[in-house]
Amino acid sequence: MSGDAAPLALPFSRLSTCASEATTLYRELREPMLRYLVCLGLSSDEAQDVVQDAFLILHRHLASGGTQENIRGWLFRVAHNQARNRQNRYDRNFSAASDAEIEAVSHQATPERAVLEKEKFQQLRKAIRLLTASERECLLLRASGLRYREIGEVLGIATSTVNDTVDRAIKKLAEKCNV
Protein backbone atom coordinates (compact mmCIF):
# COMPACT_ATOMS: atom_id res chain seq x y z
CA MET A 1 0.00 0.00 0.00
CA SER A 2 2.85 2.33 0.77
CA GLY A 3 3.87 1.98 -2.85
CA ASP A 4 0.47 3.34 -3.89
CA ALA A 5 0.67 6.28 -1.53
CA ALA A 6 3.77 7.82 -3.08
CA PRO A 7 2.37 8.63 -6.56
CA LEU A 8 -0.86 9.89 -4.97
CA ALA A 9 0.95 12.28 -2.67
CA LEU A 10 2.55 14.21 -5.54
CA PRO A 11 -0.52 15.66 -7.24
CA PHE A 12 -2.12 16.52 -3.89
CA SER A 13 0.89 18.43 -2.62
CA ARG A 14 1.18 20.18 -5.97
CA LEU A 15 -2.49 21.10 -5.82
CA SER A 16 -2.17 22.64 -2.36
CA THR A 17 0.94 24.59 -3.39
CA CYS A 18 -0.97 25.82 -6.45
CA ALA A 19 -3.94 26.83 -4.34
CA SER A 20 -1.88 28.85 -1.88
CA GLU A 21 0.09 30.44 -4.71
CA ALA A 22 -3.12 31.34 -6.54
CA THR A 23 -4.53 32.85 -3.33
CA THR A 24 -1.46 35.00 -2.82
CA LEU A 25 -1.60 36.13 -6.43
CA TYR A 26 -5.30 36.85 -6.11
CA ARG A 27 -4.74 39.12 -3.11
CA GLU A 28 -1.87 40.88 -4.83
CA LEU A 29 -3.25 41.26 -8.35
CA ARG A 30 -7.02 41.47 -8.04
CA GLU A 31 -7.14 45.24 -7.59
CA PRO A 32 -4.61 46.15 -10.31
CA MET A 33 -6.40 43.81 -12.74
CA LEU A 34 -9.81 45.30 -11.93
CA ARG A 35 -8.38 48.76 -12.40
CA TYR A 36 -6.86 47.84 -15.73
CA LEU A 37 -10.09 46.29 -17.03
CA VAL A 38 -12.30 49.15 -15.88
CA CYS A 39 -9.94 51.66 -17.48
CA LEU A 40 -10.12 49.62 -20.69
CA GLY A 41 -13.84 50.38 -20.69
CA LEU A 42 -15.42 47.36 -18.98
CA SER A 43 -18.14 47.88 -16.39
CA SER A 44 -17.29 47.08 -12.80
CA ASP A 45 -19.36 43.86 -12.94
CA GLU A 46 -17.80 42.72 -16.21
CA ALA A 47 -14.33 43.43 -14.84
CA GLN A 48 -15.03 41.32 -11.76
CA ASP A 49 -16.29 38.47 -13.95
CA VAL A 50 -13.18 38.65 -16.11
CA VAL A 51 -10.85 38.65 -13.09
CA GLN A 52 -12.67 35.67 -11.60
CA ASP A 53 -12.47 33.78 -14.90
CA ALA A 54 -8.78 34.61 -15.21
CA PHE A 55 -8.04 33.18 -11.77
CA LEU A 56 -10.07 30.06 -12.53
CA ILE A 57 -8.02 29.56 -15.68
CA LEU A 58 -4.85 30.19 -13.64
CA HIS A 59 -5.87 27.54 -11.13
CA ARG A 60 -6.41 25.00 -13.91
CA HIS A 61 -3.15 26.07 -15.55
CA LEU A 62 -1.13 25.57 -12.34
CA ALA A 63 -2.94 22.34 -11.38
CA SER A 64 -2.19 20.85 -14.79
CA GLY A 65 1.50 21.63 -14.30
CA GLY A 66 1.62 24.69 -16.55
CA THR A 67 4.58 27.02 -16.51
CA GLN A 68 4.97 29.18 -13.40
CA GLU A 69 7.21 31.77 -14.99
CA ASN A 70 5.94 35.31 -15.23
CA ILE A 71 2.50 34.47 -13.86
CA ARG A 72 1.71 38.16 -13.48
CA GLY A 73 2.08 38.81 -17.20
CA TRP A 74 0.26 35.54 -17.94
CA LEU A 75 -2.74 36.57 -15.79
CA PHE A 76 -2.94 40.01 -17.34
CA ARG A 77 -2.77 38.45 -20.81
CA VAL A 78 -5.66 36.09 -20.01
CA ALA A 79 -7.69 38.97 -18.57
CA HIS A 80 -6.82 41.22 -21.52
CA ASN A 81 -7.93 38.59 -24.05
CA GLN A 82 -11.12 37.86 -22.12
CA ALA A 83 -11.92 41.56 -22.00
CA ARG A 84 -11.31 41.83 -25.73
CA ASN A 85 -13.61 38.84 -26.41
CA ARG A 86 -16.36 40.37 -24.33
CA GLN A 87 -16.04 43.70 -26.03
CA ASN A 88 -16.18 42.07 -29.45
CA ARG A 89 -19.26 40.15 -28.38
CA TYR A 90 -21.03 43.30 -27.29
CA ASP A 91 -19.69 45.14 -30.33
CA ARG A 92 -18.11 47.91 -28.32
CA ASN A 93 -14.85 49.67 -28.76
CA PHE A 94 -12.07 49.93 -26.27
CA SER A 95 -12.35 53.27 -24.57
CA ALA A 96 -10.22 54.88 -21.91
CA ALA A 97 -12.94 54.98 -19.27
CA SER A 98 -14.67 57.57 -21.43
CA ASP A 99 -17.80 57.73 -19.33
CA ALA A 100 -15.99 57.77 -16.01
CA GLU A 101 -17.51 60.39 -13.80
CA ILE A 102 -14.53 61.87 -12.12
CA GLU A 103 -16.41 63.30 -9.11
CA ALA A 104 -15.33 60.18 -7.29
CA VAL A 105 -11.99 61.73 -6.38
CA SER A 106 -13.42 64.99 -5.17
CA HIS A 107 -15.35 63.84 -2.14
CA GLN A 108 -12.31 63.84 0.11
CA ALA A 109 -10.85 67.13 -1.05
CA THR A 110 -11.80 70.74 -0.32
CA PRO A 111 -14.24 72.27 -2.88
CA GLU A 112 -11.52 74.41 -4.54
CA ARG A 113 -9.19 71.48 -4.78
CA ALA A 114 -11.99 69.28 -6.07
CA VAL A 115 -12.75 71.72 -8.91
CA LEU A 116 -9.07 71.91 -9.85
CA GLU A 117 -8.73 68.13 -9.80
CA LYS A 118 -11.83 67.73 -11.92
CA GLU A 119 -10.54 70.16 -14.53
CA LYS A 120 -7.19 68.41 -14.55
CA PHE A 121 -8.85 65.04 -15.03
CA GLN A 122 -11.05 66.31 -17.83
CA GLN A 123 -7.99 67.64 -19.61
CA LEU A 124 -6.23 64.33 -19.07
CA ARG A 125 -9.27 62.41 -20.31
CA LYS A 126 -9.27 64.42 -23.53
CA ALA A 127 -5.56 63.72 -23.96
CA ILE A 128 -6.05 59.99 -23.26
CA ARG A 129 -8.76 59.82 -25.91
CA LEU A 130 -6.28 61.10 -28.47
CA LEU A 131 -3.89 58.20 -27.79
CA THR A 132 -3.97 55.08 -29.95
CA ALA A 133 -5.44 51.89 -28.45
CA SER A 134 -1.97 50.39 -28.16
CA GLU A 135 -0.57 53.49 -26.41
CA ARG A 136 -3.45 53.45 -23.95
CA GLU A 137 -3.04 49.76 -23.22
CA CYS A 138 0.69 50.15 -22.66
CA LEU A 139 0.16 53.04 -20.23
CA LEU A 140 -2.60 51.20 -18.35
CA LEU A 141 -0.46 48.09 -17.96
CA ARG A 142 2.48 50.26 -16.89
CA ALA A 143 0.23 51.92 -14.30
CA SER A 144 -0.67 48.42 -13.08
CA GLY A 145 2.99 47.89 -12.23
CA LEU A 146 4.00 45.64 -15.12
CA ARG A 147 7.52 45.75 -16.57
CA TYR A 148 8.00 46.50 -20.27
CA ARG A 149 8.80 42.83 -20.90
CA GLU A 150 5.53 41.77 -19.25
CA ILE A 151 3.56 44.41 -21.14
CA GLY A 152 5.04 43.06 -24.37
CA GLU A 153 3.89 39.56 -23.43
CA VAL A 154 0.37 40.72 -22.60
CA LEU A 155 -0.05 42.64 -25.83
CA GLY A 156 2.01 40.30 -28.00
CA ILE A 157 4.55 42.94 -29.06
CA ALA A 158 8.32 43.32 -28.66
CA THR A 159 9.80 44.91 -25.53
CA SER A 160 11.47 47.58 -27.67
CA THR A 161 8.07 48.42 -29.18
CA VAL A 162 6.65 48.79 -25.66
CA ASN A 163 9.53 51.10 -24.82
CA ASP A 164 8.84 53.31 -27.86
CA THR A 165 5.07 53.25 -27.31
CA VAL A 166 5.27 54.23 -23.63
CA ASP A 167 7.79 56.96 -24.47
CA ARG A 168 5.54 58.37 -27.20
CA ALA A 169 2.36 58.14 -25.08
CA ILE A 170 3.79 59.86 -22.00
CA LYS A 171 5.24 62.64 -24.16
CA LYS A 172 1.87 63.14 -25.86
CA LEU A 173 0.08 63.36 -22.50
CA ALA A 174 2.69 65.75 -21.06
CA GLU A 175 2.33 67.97 -24.13
CA LYS A 176 -1.49 67.99 -24.16
CA CYS A 177 -1.79 68.57 -20.44
CA ASN A 178 0.84 71.36 -20.50
CA VAL A 179 2.76 69.68 -17.71
Partner 1 sequence: MCDFSGKLIAWLDHELPAEEATVVERHLQDCSECRSSVDAYKKVSGEFDAYCDAAIASSVRRGVPTWAPITAAAGAAAAFVALFLVIPRTRVELPAFHLPQAAVAASPAVVAAAVPASVSSIQKIHRRRTVKSASTRNANAAPAQSQNAYLPPDEPMIQIAIPADEIYPPGAVPEGMHFVADLTIAADGSAEGLRLRPRFAGFERRTIHP
Q: Is 70 exposed, middle or buried (0-12, 13-18, 19+ CB in 10 A)?
A: middle
Contact 34, 75 (CB under 8 A): no
Closer to partner 1 by Cβ: residue 22 or 128:
128
- If the CB atoms of residues 29 and 128 are measured against partner 1, the closer one turns out to be 128
Identified binder of partner 1 from the candidate list 128, 138, 154, 155, rule CB under 8 A: 128
Q: How many CB atoms lie within 10 A of CB 156?
A: 9
Confirm if 41 and 94 have CB atoms less than 8 A apart.
yes
160-179 residues near partner 1, rule: CB under 8 A: 163, 166-167, 170-171, 173-174, 177, 179
Whole-number Å distance between alpha carbons of 143 and 121: 16
| Chain positions contacting partner 1, by CB under 8 A | 34-36, 38-39, 43-44, 47, 97, 100-105, 107, 120-121, 124-125, 128, 139-140, 142-143, 147-148, 163, 166-167, 170-171, 173-174, 177, 179
